[in-house]
Amino acid sequence: MTEQIKRSEAPVAMTWDLTALFADEAAFTAAVTAAQAKTKALAKQEQTFTADAQQFAKTLASYYEASEALDRIGMYSMLAVAQDTTDPQAQQLEATAEQASTAFAQAVAWLEPAIVALPESRLTAFEAAEPTLKQYRHALAAIRTQVGHVLAPGEERVLAALGTTIDAPESIQSTLDDADLTFGTIEYDGQTQPMTKGLRRVIAENGARPVRKQAAEQFDTAYYDHRFTFAQSLQAHVHAQNTLAQIRHYSSARAMDLSQNQIPEAVYDTLLTETHAHLDLAHRYYALRKQTLGLDVMHPYDLSLPLTGGKTPFAPTYDEATATTLAALAPLGSDYQAHLEDEFAHRWVDVLETKGKTSGGFEDAAYGVHPYILLNWADNYDAMSTLAHESGHAMQSVYANANQPYWDSQYPIFTAEVASTTNESLLNAYLLNTTQDDRAKQIYLLSDEVENFLGTFYTQARFAEFELFMYQTEASGQPLTAEALTAKWDELEAAYYGPSVTPTPWPKAQWARIPHFFYNYYMYQYATSKAIATTFAKRILTEGEPAVAAYKAFLKAGNSDTPVNLLKRAGIDVTKPDYLDAAFAHVKGRLDQLAKLLNA
């Protein structure tokens, strides 16, 4: 489907059902009122919090109860905005949720500093006197890693009060990108259509070269024309994060952000070093693509066209994609299948691209409620792979929520992306296995797996390198101008693409198209996760039930230990480069297969 429709025109069965969160806005308002009451009650416990073990346990229970309620409130309002960013009523819900969340953060700003300041001997005595505190052991240990970085209660209140202001650059970027930006119209498929992000993806895979070029230029021009606003938003966001790192006594914003999941910074540096050492694999693929397509000059808008030429051999409808995804993920067991069937049958997914809807795809979950998935559907393999990807997130939420208490259920992004990319690998492997007599599909799938690695690993590593540049540049006192951002972007693109890809000649500001730069050292985890997921998928398919059981134990663990420890239990040590080397070896093997098939 390429035509963008109004939300009111979308079939109800293809929209998500938010009543699982709140029956209506009146219920939402009542929940906000109740959360505000919990917030006021918690604010009064500052002086008595650490008086004795019983009061300590009681306050912690109240704190997590209020946090859980506010998570559901925030998620409801966020989803309401995501389905239509132009809806003023949804925007009001989001403002209400943000105000409640900010008030809560201010009211309990003293809690984490008090936990950090508590002597270890006193905490041990508390646990001995009140056994229920054992359930919070990991959560408390995670908070206590902030020793030296949590401020005095009054200072924490000030930072909490500034939460909405600190987050403003991301909101500005999102509104500009999803609501204000337009891309004109384009002649495609026999009709003049409004250019949308979903249509551009379809054209990139299926359009004739002049149309692909036109679509790319229209997109690039729209972002370029707004480059100064996008650059100012990025500058403000990066400056805020660097300032927060200084205030909290971290050596850098990267150290601050990685410490939240207790990820050593060496993991990040090793990723970039190993990637640069294996850029030859990416360059080899692009050279093969250029040769196969018979292009004298290959531009970035040629990189999504199937190597088989013409139309993609996969054009699944949403219903066909759900059936294929179920079949592909069958090795994960009947319980996993049952959860997927529930997802597809009971409106967990908002499927179609509609006017004002947030672009891309995501999954989110609130404890005690099924997950929600946002898609912007197009009948292509990429959309089906996105469905499998976001379903991986959803299933991790299902398993973690069912097996962990609230405070240990919210798994970090570092491990979340493992679950999603494992599903992508299993989908690709399933289709490779079931289409062996179709050369075109085999070429498409092999190239997709290699390109998926390029996009999920190499591209995200490039984004991670760009992100590090932004933070280090701003920290040194240099402004992040549109010109400086574009120069660095072009430099990295040339290094990662290699000599076979020629830049497009028109002016552009492609860094402006990446909302994840507002997510604070988020993207490197896509690359690490892709390498980890490759191992998980291989084990599931070759070792069977023991590997499936280990994988599900990983899903069920949620955030009950550090990501490094959880992965070590699963047999992967991310503090060493071995897992990266294994991933490069895998993609080299797939590239060998693809080259042989293309040259046969």
Three-class HEC string of 227-295: HHHHHHHHHHHHHHHHHHHHHCCCCCHHHHHHHCCCCCHHHHHHHHHHHHHCHHHHHHHHHHHHHHHCC
pTM (two decimals): 0.81
- Catalytic residue from among 112, 390, 451, 465: 390
Summarize pLDDT for 151-168 with one digit per residue, the tens: 887 888 888 888 889 999
- Do 101 and 160 form a contact (C-beta atoms < 8 A)? no
- At 258, the pLDDT band (50, 70, 90 cuts) reads very high
Q: How far is Cα 555 from Cα 417, in angstroms, rounded to an integer?
A: 11
Phi and psi, residue 294, nearest 5°: 65, 40
Look at residue 458 and tell me whether its pLDDT is greater than 60. yes
- At 548, the pLDDT band (50, 70, 90 cuts) reads very high
Q: List, in order of start, the domains of the chain with CATH numbers.
A: 7-161 (1.20.140.70), 257-315+381-600 (1.10.1370.20)
Q: How far is Cα 274 from Cα 535, in angstroms, rounded to an integer?
A: 17
Q: Which of 114, 108, 129, 18 is nearest to 65 (CA)?
A: 108
Q: How far is Cα 442 from Cα 142, in angstroms, rounded to an integer?
A: 46
What does each C-alpha distance from 479 to 67, 233, 238, 470 come to in angstroms?
A: 37, 12, 10, 9
- Looking at residue 188, its pLDDT comes to 93
Look at residue 136 and tell me whether its pLDDT is greater than 60. yes
Q: How far is CA 229 from the centre of its chain?
A: 24
Q: What percentage of residues in the chain have a pLDDT greater than 90?
A: 84
Q: What percentage of residues in the chain have a pLDDT greater than 70?
A: 99
Name, in order, each residue with C-beta under 8 angstroms of 58's C-beta and a sequence gap of 6 or more: none
- Looking at residue 1, its pLDDT comes to 41
Look at residue 2 and tell me whether its pLDDT is greater than 70. no
What does each C-alpha distance from 258 to 272, 276, 326, 336 come to in angstroms?
A: 15, 22, 35, 31
The reply to whether 390 belongs to the active site is: yes
Specify the DSSP element, H or E, that contains 345: helix 334-345
Summarize pLDDT for 33-54 with one digit per residue, the tens: 999 999 999 999 999 999 999 9
- Looking at residue 245, its pLDDT comes to 96
- Looking at residue 309, its pLDDT comes to 67
Other C-beta atoms within 10 Å of 17: how many? 15
Q: How far is Cα 147 from Cα 160, in angstroms, rounded to an integer?
A: 19
Summarize pLDDT for 55-83 with one digit per residue, the tens: 999 999 999 999 999 999 999 999 999 99
Q: What is the mean pLDDT of residues 445-460?
A: 92
Q: Which of 76, 100, 64, 63 is nearest to 27 (CA)?
A: 76
Tokens representing 24 are: 């209506």
Q: How far is Cα 91 from Cα 80, in angstroms, rounded to an integer?
A: 8
Widest Cα–Cα separation across the chain? 76
Summarize pLDDT for 309-368 with one digit per residue, the tens: 667 789 999 999 999 999 999 999 999 999 999 999 999 999 999 999 998 899 999 999
- Position of tokens 């500009």? 176
146: left (phi over 0), alpha (psi -120 to 50) or beta: alpha
Tokens representing 377 are: 């559907």
Average pLDDT value for the chain: 94
Other C-beta atoms within 10 Å of 280: how many? 11
- At 3, the pLDDT band (50, 70, 90 cuts) reads low
- Do 261 and 506 form a contact (C-beta atoms < 8 A)? no
- Looking at residue 201, its pLDDT comes to 87
Query: b/e for 410-435, b at 16 or more Cβ within 10 A?
Result: bbbbbbbbbbbbbbbbbbbbbbbeeb
Name, in order, each residue with C-beta under 8 angstroms of 205's C-beta and a sequence gap of 6 or more: 304, 305, 306, 312, 380, 382
